Amino acid sequence: MKARIRKGDTVEVISGRFEDKGKRGEVTKVLPKQARIVVQNVNIRKKHQQQVETRGRALSAGIIEFEASIAISNVMLVCPVCNEPSRIGILRDGKEVQRVCKKCKAEFD
Ligand SMILES: [Zn+2]
């Protein structure tokens, strides 16, 4: 499961929070140890920012939006060839690792 999703891949959310289900986005961060990823525009959280003072200037307080990580098991990789969320197989050819879409059988890096 580890190497199947990489930074820059497009994934579709298949389970998890209702409002994110079916959403697609680009993977911006992979956290292999936690088996979690950060996906653009998915799992948006709001953080309230306290008013901070820097060199006598007060920066305005407000709400910061950021993307929180989600479990890798909640997403499916979208195949770059058939554009469908699909299960991915791994093909090893010496040191080269190719990923294979189980739907259209296309190979890609
Ligand atoms: Zn495919």
104 within some domain: no
Taking alpha carbons only, the member of 62, 104, 60, 98 closest to residue 86 is 104
Joined together, the tokens standing for residue 26 give: 């680009």
Comparing 75 with 4, the larger pLDDT belongs to 75
Alpha carbons 77 and 72: distance in angstroms, whole number: 10
**What is the CA(92)–ligand 1 centre distance, in A?**
18
Whole-model pTM? 0.81
108 within some domain: no
Q: What is the reported pLDDT for 59?
A: 67
Alpha carbons 59 and 78: distance in angstroms, whole number: 41
9 within some domain: yes
Instruction: Supply the CATH number for residue 6's domain.
Output: 2.30.30.30
With H, G, I as helix, E, B as strand and everything else as coil, classify residue 30: strand
Q: What is the reported pLDDT for 1?
A: 43
Question: Which range of residues forms the domain containing residue 66?
Answer: 2-80
19 within some domain: yes
**What is the CA(10)–ligand 1 centre distance, in A?**
12
Q: What is the reported pLDDT for 3?
A: 58
When divided into structural domains, the chain yields a total of 1
